[in-house]
Amino acid sequence: MTTTKTIYLEIEVEIEGSYSAGRPGTFYRSNGDPGDPPEPAEFEIHSVKWQGVDISPMLDKENFDWFALEEEILEDIENREPDDYDDDERNYEED
């Protein structure tokens, strides 16, 4: 999955990562056994590209908030409109 975000000093980058939709939990299974807890949706960043070059290794690991960026992308994915998703390429198109 690929999305575009603006980071740092208004630099637009392409972010590649994997998205897992998660699933709701269950209290009990059909046989009466305890169910499973819910699994939240997740987005994991694999690379951050600027003008086609992977700049992930150059981002300051201590000061760059990877978690916040993943959460922002996850929120965008979960709030997207159906027309914003290209099923052929499995890419999320952000306006």
How confident is the model at residue 93, as a pLDDT? 45
Cα–Cα distance, 95 to 93 (Å, whole number): 7
Joined tokens for residue 43: 């987005």
More confident residue, 60 or 93: 60
- pLDDT tens column, 64-89: 888 888 898 899 888 886 665 555 44
The burial class, CB within 10 Å (0-12 / 13-18 / 19+), for 50 is middle
The burial class, CB within 10 Å (0-12 / 13-18 / 19+), for 58 is exposed
